[in-house]
Amino acid sequence: MPEDQANRLDITSPAFDAEDSGSWGLAAPERRVWGLAVRGDRLYYSVEEGPQIWSLGINQDGSFGADPRWELDVPADPNAYPVSDIAFQSNSLMLLAQRGGITSRYDYSQYQTPRKTRVLRYRLESPNDPATPSRWVSAPEDYAIGFPGIHRNSSGGIAIGYGYRKDAGGNYVRGSCKGTLWSTGDALRDNPVHGARLAQGGPLNVHGLQGNALSLVRPANVPPWETYFVDYDSQFDDPQAAGHVGDVEIARECGRKRTDVMDLRILKRAKPERCTVGNQCPFGVEIENTGTKTYSGPLVIQDIAHNGAQLIGHSPPPPGWDCREVFPGTGVYECSNPGVTLKPGQKTSLELLFQMPPWWVRHVYDNCAELRIPGAGVDERPYNNRSCAYVATIGPGHPDYVPDLKLEKFGLFGACDFFGLCEFVVRITNVGAAPYTGQLNVNDFTTTPGATITDWAPKPDWNCALLAPDNYGCSTAGPVTLLPGDFRELVILTQGPPIAPGVTTVRNCAWIDWNGAPGDVNPFNEYDCAEI
């Protein structure tokens, strides 16, 4: 709808009335935007006409996309009140707060029509029903806000805060990162029917905040006894006040801080493009400090040579690196360096020369190395302490000279954090003989009740979109080329209920999605799960 340039506020006009919002020159309802929220790469916003909820894509440079999408109409019950705030409990749960009609009193006592507005929760259809106009279930859930009337006492603001629990001493401390819904409201404890009981807990005319567990949608918590109330000005003699408190925002610091992390990563690669069976084949091993702490100490690598391959040389020689077979004839070698210092971003390398066995018949030779020291307890991301190299033993023209993509899933850290934030890694490696060129597509999902996928990295290398609750489809930004042994990684973040330290409860899975196209020669290595 185009802007009406003539509809401007003019307080000198005889038609202007400070107590009549119709004379204030507000934008037409179709253009009047109220609540805003960003989720993923989309901006969600409410329009007073309807009211309706729409969303719009946000490009990587911060500009808006050309993809506006209608989400839902908020039903009039019985009247249509504007949605002044939007919050997301998860990818599949959207919360909306209504605010009463605009009022203006000469004594500044009221700014909205009280006792008529709700806090609603919409749930994403699962699976999406193409026969319905919206992606969201049409009938919303709602919360009991305040004691007056039928518990519709919102003044338009909502925010999600920490959950709380009792510690061993009986004190309330932070529990989950997302556990409490805070809603603004008026006269939240004023109800003569329950007056005697309510009076035991303090004043009745509380204008400010109501806090309750996110899970307590109706019919639970009616009336809202399982609730905290906070008055915004500690003045309790204004029963007719309404709308003085509008929005509420809560700063939360959730999840593992990615600072002060010790992480050494090992990477093994074949030096040549191909190695000939029965001849020598050199491999490079690189250890990089990808954390934020400096490491000083010894390094020990275990290398496994398959099917009778023999380590016949390495460089640099002692006193830098010393390599020897752990048990004669086993093909298990240990290479150690008595002491290195690696600052964040620094690397050290080692070259190993193997004699390949003459009886090797497979078209790819794989050789793996594992960083054993410093190891767990020092290295905080153990998933990248093992690396395998893949080198072709055949060339172009051979019928088996084809790529083969393998998917692996790891926990980024050894455990989820105190707030239930878990980080998983998807790694796709070309374990075939030939290079792969094309887009990588992954379907990632969590199988743990209450856990939801919340984010991914790196961006913009990967783009992810919600397919269903707790299910993302992710693709590289464009085609990639993976030589044998090359890989790409995607980090997935999930948020769940509070998880006790050391308890393995969250499971995350992924598989390669060929989007209907023929896959590669080996479909049996394209699905994996991890639990932490």
Give the model confidence (pLDDT) of 62-86 as tens digits. 899 999 999 999 998 878 899 999 9
268/287 Cα distance (integer angstroms): 9
Q: Which amino acid is at 27?
A: A
Would you call 306 exposed, middle or buried from its count of C-beta atoms within 10 A (0-12, 13-18, 19+)? middle
- All residue ranges of the chain with pLDDT < 70 are 1-6, 166-168, 175, 254-259, 417-420, 450, 496-505
Closest among 76, 82, 71 to 47, alpha carbons compared: 82
Closest among 43, 21, 46 to 33, alpha carbons compared: 46
- Note whether 67 and 43 are within 8 A (CB): no
486/471 Cα distance (integer angstroms): 26
Cβ neighbors of 175 (< 8 A, separation 6 or more) are: 162, 163, 164, 165, 498
Q: Which amino acid is at 402?
A: V
CATH T-level topology, domain 256-401: Immunoglobulin-like (2.60.40)
H/E run at residue 283? strand 280-289
Q: Convert the pLDDT of each residue in 304-329 to its tens digit.
A: 887 778 888 899 887 889 999 888 87
Q: Any idea what DSSP says for residue 58?
A: B
> Distances in Å between the alpha carbon of 76 and those of 34, 134, 278, 357, 490?
17, 17, 79, 77, 43
Residue 133, preceding peptide bond in cis (omega within 30° of 0): no
All CATH 2.60.40.10 domain ranges of the chain, comma separated, are: 402-532
Measured in degrees and rounded to the nearest 5, phi and psi for residue 382 equal -70, -10
- Note whether 341 and 295 are within 8 A (CB): yes
> Distances in Å between the alpha carbon of 305 and those of 64, 269, 325, 328?
54, 14, 10, 12
- The CATH number of the domain covering residues in 402-532: 2.60.40.10
- Note whether 427 and 408 are within 8 A (CB): yes
270/313 Cα distance (integer angstroms): 15
Residue 458, preceding peptide bond in cis (omega within 30° of 0): yes
All CATH 2.60.40.1530 domain ranges of the chain, comma separated, are: 256-401
> Distances in Å between the alpha carbon of 35 and those of 180, 405, 506?
20, 45, 34
For residue 394, give both structure tokens: 């055949």
- Note whether 156 and 48 are within 8 A (CB): no
Q: What does the CA dihedral 358, 360, 365, 367 come to, rounded to 10 degrees?
A: -70
374/298 Cα distance (integer angstroms): 7
Radius of gyration of the chain (CA): 30
Cβ neighbors of 199 (< 8 A, separation 6 or more) are: none
> Looking at residue 427, what is its pLDDT?
96
